[in-house]
Amino acid sequence: MPEIIDTETFVIGDSTKTNSLGRALSMALTAAELGPVRVLAFEDGELWAGAGQFPADVVPFGRRDLSRIERDVRAAASERRTIVWFSKGTDPLPRLARRLSRIPNTVVVADFDDDDVSIMEAFRSESLLNRAKANPLRRKAPSRLRRSQARIARDADLVTFSSAGLRGVYAERFELGDASAVIPHTRVSMPRDRPRAPSADGRLTLGFIGTVRSYKGADTLNALLRADTDVGIVTFAQSWTPPSDVAAQWTMRPPTTPLSEVYADVDVLVLPMDIRSPAALYQLPAKLVDAAVFGTPVAATPTPPIEEFAAGAFLPVTDWSDPVGVLAAIRAADKEQLGAALQARFTTLLSPEATADTLDTALKKALIRKSTHRA
């Protein structure tokens, strides 16, 4: 059990409108095991639809609110130890982190859950319009993002990552030392009975419950549908739309649909990650954690983060180029065993209690380093 008590945490996300807010809300679940939590996010649009899947409220803020946040943190730190946990490190978060790092009784933590620089480099390469959207004047331009992440890591007392593999990526970009820890995504435990009864008509319902992107295997998903008209895929409604020839096989659920309802309709979650993409290679899919909560079996590319948390508890697919063969392997798999094994990993590695224990240990070490440095 966590030993750091009488602690308050401010989780500060870099965006209100994108799914990166999901990481901040996951961090809040972990931090809530240590004490009260406030979640703030830089306001860049309407609140991400998926925020409703989490119990915490999100308070938007702008650049003019940095002084107010500093006052709030000072007030909290005057009464109890205060943790400020930053997600992503996009501007203006590094500036705020520098100011808060000077407040006594405060621990600043920087968190990275994706290879964001590689994601933005891939985004820029897709079209001239994307190059304009991610030009050097924008806060998420690759070069600017790389600098801002290095700044916030430099001022942090602790740096956290969603996987050990991702930590290795960032270790090549800036100095980490030993002040780092791996805190995977987590979710509220909402178990349901498994396995789902096979469809009487032989239909197979796959799940891809999240944003559909090319590096996440969009083409592979459509190839699976073209290979067998008895296969369907469930996802959330989003800006991406499926090709017309397979559109009828996609079920687009409203993003506000409770995850328990969505996963109740899924036989197997599929994660055909493109290992040629650095953005995919070191991403821990939040969908994997969702599936673990509900004991839903998973077929996935065995990337380093997926192996790190689910080795032996998912169906590894190293070659997705033969959709007929992939579907045959999925149909033949022991789905009950895979689902139960993955659900056990949630309890031991991915639950709020498990991630909080890891954070608690890392914070204690960070506090020792900080007190020694100041002495």
Query: Averaged over 215-241, what is the pLDDT?
Result: 93
**Per DSSP, what are the bridge partners of residue 331?**
none
Give the model's confidence band at 175: pLDDT under 50 very low, under 70 low, under 90 confident, else very high: confident
User: 308 or 191: whose pLDDT is higher?
Assistant: 308
What is the mean predicted confidence (pLDDT) over 152-171? 96
Q: Of 310, 53, 311, 56, nearest to 190 (Cα)? A: 53
| Sheet strands side by side (includes 106-112) | 58-61, 37-42, 7-13, 81-87, 106-112, 158-161, 180-182
What tokens appear for 288 in the block?
């994997």
In this prediction, residue 200 carries a pLDDT of: 58
Residue 259 above 80 pLDDT? Answer: yes
* Whole-number average pLDDT of the chain: 92
Give yes or no for a contact between 92 and 101, defined as CB atoms under 8 angstroms apart. no
Q: Length of the chain in residues, anyone?
A: 375
Pairing, β 37-42 against β 7-13: parallel
Q: Mean pLDDT lowest for which of 81-85, 143-147, 226-230?
A: 143-147
More confident site: 368 or 155: 155
Residues above pLDDT 90, as percent of the chain: 77
Helix (H, G, I), strand (E, B) or coil at 276: coil
| pTM, 2 dp | 0.92
Looking at 3.40.50.1820, 3.40.50.2000, 3.40.630.40, 1.10.287.3510, the CATH number of the domain 204-349 comes to 3.40.50.2000
Q: What pLDDT, on a 0 to 100 scale, did the predictor assign at position 6? A: 76
Full DSSP string of 288-346: HHHHHHHT--EEE---HHHHHHHTTSSEE-S--S-HHHHHHHHHHS-HHHHHHHHHHHI
Q: Is the omega angle on the peptide bond into residue 195 within 30 degrees of 0, that is, cis?
A: yes
What does the pLDDT read at residue 178?
73
Task: Band the pLDDT of 198: cuts 50, 70, 90.
Answer: low
**Which one-letter amino acid corresponds to residue 263?**
Y
pLDDT value at 146 more than 70: yes
pLDDT at 5: 56
Domain with CATH 3.40.50.2000 in the chain: 7-186+352-374, 204-349
- What pLDDT, in 10s, does the model give residues 67-121? 999 999 999 999 999 999 999 999 999 999 999 999 999 999 999 999 999 888 8
Rounded alpha-carbon distances, angstroms, from residue 6 to 76, 82, 156, 238, 358: 11, 9, 21, 41, 18
Please give the Cα distance from 234 to 251 (Å, whole number). Answer: 5
- Residue 1 scores a pLDDT above 80: no
Q: Which residues pair with 252 in a beta bridge?
A: 235
Per-residue pLDDT, averaged over 53-76, amounts to 97
Pair 209, 263: CB distance under 8 Å = yes
In this prediction, residue 191 has a pLDDT band, given cuts at 50, 70 and 90, of: low
pLDDT at 229 > cutoff 70: yes
Of the ranges 39-43, 178-182, 320-324, which one carries the lowest mean pLDDT score?
178-182
Give mean pLDDT, residues 305-311. Answer: 98
At the fourth CATH level, which superfamily is domain 7-186+352-374?
Glycogen Phosphorylase B; (3.40.50.2000)
Per-residue confidence at 60, pLDDT binned at 50, 70, 90? very high
CA angle 144, 146, 149 (to 5 degrees): 105
State the pLDDT at residue 171: 93
**Which residue type does 18 have?**
T
When pLDDT is cut at 50, 70 and 90, the band that residue 3 belongs to is: low
Q: Among 71-80, 122-131, 202-211, whose mean pLDDT is lowest?
A: 122-131
The residues, any chain, with a CB within 8 Å of residue 64's CB and separated by 6 or more, are none
CA 333 centroid distance within chain: 27
- According to the model, what pLDDT value does residue 59 have? 98
Coil/strand/helix, residue 286: helix
